[in-house]
Structure 1
Amino acid sequence: MLTQSSTRVLEPADLGAALAVLESAPVENAFVTARVQLAGLDPWRLGGEMWGWYSDGHLTSLCYSGANLVPVCATPEAVRAFADRARRTGRRCSSIVGPAEPTAHLWRLLEPGWGPARDVRAHQPLMVTDRPSATVEADPLVRRVRKDEMDVIMPACVAMFTEEVGISPLAGDGGLLYQARVAELVGSGRAFARIEDGKVLFKAEIGAATRQACQIQGVWVAPEHRGKGLSETGMAAVLRYALADVAPVASLYVNDYNTPARAAYRRVGFEEVGAFMSVLF
């Protein structure tokens, strides 16, 4: 145990203390918690380092440094320490993402050296529910994607990612990592779609999943079928699967300027409880 305020890279022996921090805010920390519950704190298995901030000898804040830089339960003092470490190591991430306030603070400190960003999404409402929709009927044609349907689902996944992030996931390595991630979600039964005549009309995945909460992501409706309510009935269906099979609470976060999506999620039963922020490079 450290006896003063300081930061260091956590080791496997720190797992219990790290999980205690993560599980203190199970919804907003779902992404990082899921990785740690699966891989522990070994950097090779985790896909990055976990930095810990100690205040008066106690671990109180974390920062995941991998493909994403993610502050976790980060106090202002911890954010400053994490920014110092990030500046020393240099930018290795493709995005900074996390709860809006500490993420904005972290970006203010890093922007002079790391900027400009390709895109900054300063306010992404975090929405949560713990019950199936009482107002929207679940689409009975939305189901789990089968392993033999990868060729069917991949074009929809690529279209969603490109539309949402602004670049194709096929850039760089030809999409190998992205295809592996989609295959992982399909293989684990966490990819859902309405497929008709070999075409995806609606799709979504349950991405991060822990014992306490899960996060729905990748919501997409084929352009020619938008405006027909498929996003609402499809989300109601995915929500039923999530709550029945994965975790007692389901969450998602959405861009604040996507007014139709926010309204659709509210109709399904999601409520805004906070906000995330994303900085994309």
Structure 2
Amino acid sequence: MPDVRVLRPGDEAALDAFLATYAETSMFLRANARSAGLTDRGEPMQATYVAALESGRITDVAAHCWNGMVLVQAPSHAAAVAREAVRRSGRGVTGFSGPWDQVIAARRALGLATVPTTKDSRDELYLLDLARLVIPPALAAGAVHCRHPEAGELELLVEWRTSFSVEALGAPNTPDLRRASRADVLLQHERGADWVLISGTRPVAYSVFNAMLPEIVQIGGVWTPPEHRGRGYARSVVAGSLLAARKQGVQRAVLFADPTNAMARAAYLAIGFRIVGDYGLVLLAH
């Protein structure tokens, strides 16, 4: 049996070396550990990290995050590390994220396999080498442009984030959701990870880098309001953000999306992404 223990400050290099071998499916784990460290005080981006080690080397990791999500990169011992991470954090579980089979194993180990969910999806995992990024014609011609949002636009983005959570994640539209949406919008803005597409003078689409490393970014929360759909705005906001990232030396981008969303799939494939695997996202009903 492996040695299962909590990771502490000083374990960062070993953790990142392990996760880098699964780079496309470890973005939340790597980015959060780099930005917030391995100490868990329940603050944004923090988590309790638990690893399985064999002969002193990390083979599996689970993190129970400040927001209740359980993140896994655990090819061999997902059940053991997930159980210990949740036990040691003392928090409730709100969902799971990671490679699909590992999400299933972690959820079952915690006795949550039959708990109702608002989202239970085996998403498609997309990867793009930014040297192969295809620029949408409207963006290339300057008919639209991409930038970070301004302070006066953040309340609009709270509305959009709330609508995204209802439509894409199955969340109930409650005051709690609006509060959570505002906190998320402000956090992404503070991190410089948010992007809007501008047509004329109006924002028409929104996207974030929900995990960022110097060489790779992960895209999430892509949203075009219904009244602006069908005009290629989603692909343009994603492509515009990646153009900016490429100028900063970022080499690759990943994202995961529901396979039933044909419009999203078409948008991502059109700008050069390819499907390389799967990724699990489970959100428990409260």
The two structures have a TM-score, normalised by structure 2, of: 0.85
Give deviations 1:101-129, integer Å, cap 9, x for gaps.
Answer: 2112222333x456313145342011011
Among 261, 265, 274, which residue is 2:277 paired with?
A: 274
Give deviations 1:140-165, integer Å, cap 9, x for gaps.
Answer: 32222123321232212221122111
Assess if the C-alpha contact under 8 Å between 1:153 and 1:200 holds in 2. no
Distance verdict in 2 for CA 1:49–1:178, change over 3 Å: same
Among 5, 19, 22, which residue is 1:22 paired with?
A: 19
Task: Specify the alignment match of 2:137 in structure 1.
Answer: 137
Assess if the C-alpha contact under 8 Å between 1:243 and 1:250 holds in 2. no
Distance verdict in 2 for CA 1:163–1:191, change over 3 Å: same
**Cα separation, 1, equivalents of 2:184 and 2:280:** 23
**Cα separation, 1, equivalents of 2:247 and 2:173:** 31
Kindly state the Cα deviation for residue 82 of structure 1 after the two structures are TM-superposed: 2.2
Assess if the C-alpha contact under 8 Å between 2:37 and 2:46 holds in 1. no
Structure 1: which 5+ runs fail to align?
A: none
Task: Specify the alignment match of 1:222 in structure 2.
Answer: 225
Kindly state the Cα deviation for residue 246 of structure 1 after the two structures are TM-superposed: 6.3
**Cα separation, 2, equivalents of 1:244 and 1:236:** 12
Assess if the C-alpha contact under 8 Å between 1:206 and 1:242 holds in 2. no
Give deviations 1:26-80, integer Å, cap 9, x for gaps.
Answer: 22111111111112111126522001111233222110112210111x123x113
Correspondence 1:146 to 2:143: no
Equivalent residues in 2 for 1:77-96 (5 A)?
A: 78-85=77-84, 92-96=92-96
Assess if the C-alpha contact under 8 Å between 1:193 and 1:204 holds in 2. yes
Assess if the C-alpha contact under 8 Å between 2:48 and 2:85 holds in 1. no
Distance verdict in 2 for CA 1:159–1:15, change over 3 Å: same
Among 165, 169, 173, which residue is 1:165 paired with?
A: 169
Query: How many equivalent residue pairs?
Result: 274
Among 181, 184, 191, which residue is 2:187 paired with?
A: 184
SS in 1 for 2:24: coil
Distance verdict in 2 for CA 1:184–1:80, change over 3 Å: closer
Kindly state the Cα deviation for residue 197 of structure 1 after the two structures are TM-superposed: 7.6
**Cα separation, 2, equivalents of 1:8 and 1:60:** 12
Kindly state the Cα deviation for residue 192 of structure 1 after the two structures are TM-superposed: 1.4
Sequence identity percentage: 24
Assess if the C-alpha contact under 8 Å between 2:60 and 2:81 holds in 1. no
Distance verdict in 2 for CA 1:51–1:86, change over 3 Å: closer
**Cα separation, 1, equivalents of 2:83 and 2:211:** 28
Give deviations 1:180-205, integer Å, cap 9, x for gaps.
Answer: 33123223332111345875321111
Structure 2: which 5+ runs fail to align?
A: none
Correspondence 1:7 to 2:8: no
**Cα separation, 2, equivalents of 1:184 and 1:84:** 29
